[in-house]
Amino acid sequence: MNTRPAVALLSLALLPLALAASPARAIVAIEPFSEQVSTTIASPSDSPSPAYQWDVSYERSFDGFSIVKHVEINFLFETPLGFTAQQKADWKAQAEASVESIWNNKFAVRDTVNNRTYAVGVDITVDGPFDQTISVAQRPADCGSRPGDLDCRDNMIKWFSDSTPVIHAHEFGHMLGLYDEYDGGAVDKLNNPTLSSDGIMGLGALDPDPVFYARYFQQYRDFIGGIPLAEYQRLAGSGVAQGNFVLVAVPEPGTWAMFGVGAVMLMAGVRRARRADTQRSLAS
Ligand SMILES: [Zn+2]
């Protein structure tokens, strides 16, 4: 018996599937310019060893729309919390969403030569392989009477379950490579350290609506400024010239109407980068 007609029919039946799949593949065909950053940061002190030292690990990428630092976080829940699997999942999702919304779209990077603006943001994922591990802890019961003691304060790798989203976002700032900006913290230099009473890396971490300074995003500007021209053209368009990049503050939501369509594009940009990341990790 000749089976060739059946095979031909099968091939024809598969063809529409192949056609349907090809546009989706085309969308993710443009690979972002990405690099892994792994470094140790030390805060200077008078003693021989640094007062504070921490490891920073993340992937930063530019996809033609946005510049994103992507951190994979392993949240471990301490036993006394007594969280169920569902409570852990809910807590992680909430922490991820709030820290991202606090850091995202505060600044953008503008290319003044090519008249383009790129969203700047962070992307937290919890799937691994991990860049950081955080212990989610129950705050000691007597911390109300001694809030300043070390074991009553969050740090980069120990987050109390009941701390404010801004405190968690401050600790996440250290994972981005940022120093503290308050006396007694992990400051950038011994003499005349960078301090602020309202910035999220300073005492503004205690404020529900802290200030975001351009210096927190300088690394994003430096990163895109260092992308080779051929790579920049591949992602931003073949017609672009060598860019000149500056950080610009993103307006508050109430003034977006004046800012125009670009602000909406900025919001979409970070989300788009995030989807691309997800697809990449599924692919590899
Ligand atoms: Zn800190």
Q: For residue range 177-222, what is the model confidence (pLDDT) as tens digits? A: 999 999 989 999 988 999 999 999 999 999 999 999 999 999 999 9
Contact 194, 215 (CB under 8 A): yes
DSSP 146: -
Instruction: Taking residues 151-179, report their average pLDDT.
Output: 97
Q: Give the Å distance between the CA of 56 and the centre of ligand 1.
A: 14
Predicted confidence (pLDDT) per residue in 59-80, tens digit: 999 999 999 999 999 999 999 9
Q: Give the Å distance between the CA of 22 and the centre of ligand 1.
A: 47
Q: Give the Å distance between the CA of 157 and the centre of ligand 1.
A: 11
User: Where exactly are the structural domains of the chain?
Assistant: 35-283
Q: Which two tokens stand for residue 32?
A: 């972002």
> What is the rounded distance in angstroms from the CA atom of residue 119 to the CA atom of residue 110?
9
Q: pLDDT band for position 51 (50/70/90)?
A: confident
Q: Give the Å distance between the CA of 180 and the centre of ligand 1.
A: 5
> What is the rounded distance in angstroms from the CA atom of residue 117 to the CA atom of residue 242?
14
Length of the chain: 284
List phi, psi (to 5°) of 160: -70, 140
Nearest to 228 by CA among 244, 246, 247, 242: 242
Instruction: Count the alpha carbons within 13 Å of 174 in the hemisphere toward its beta carbon.
Output: 29
**Is residue 111 over pLDDT 50?**
yes
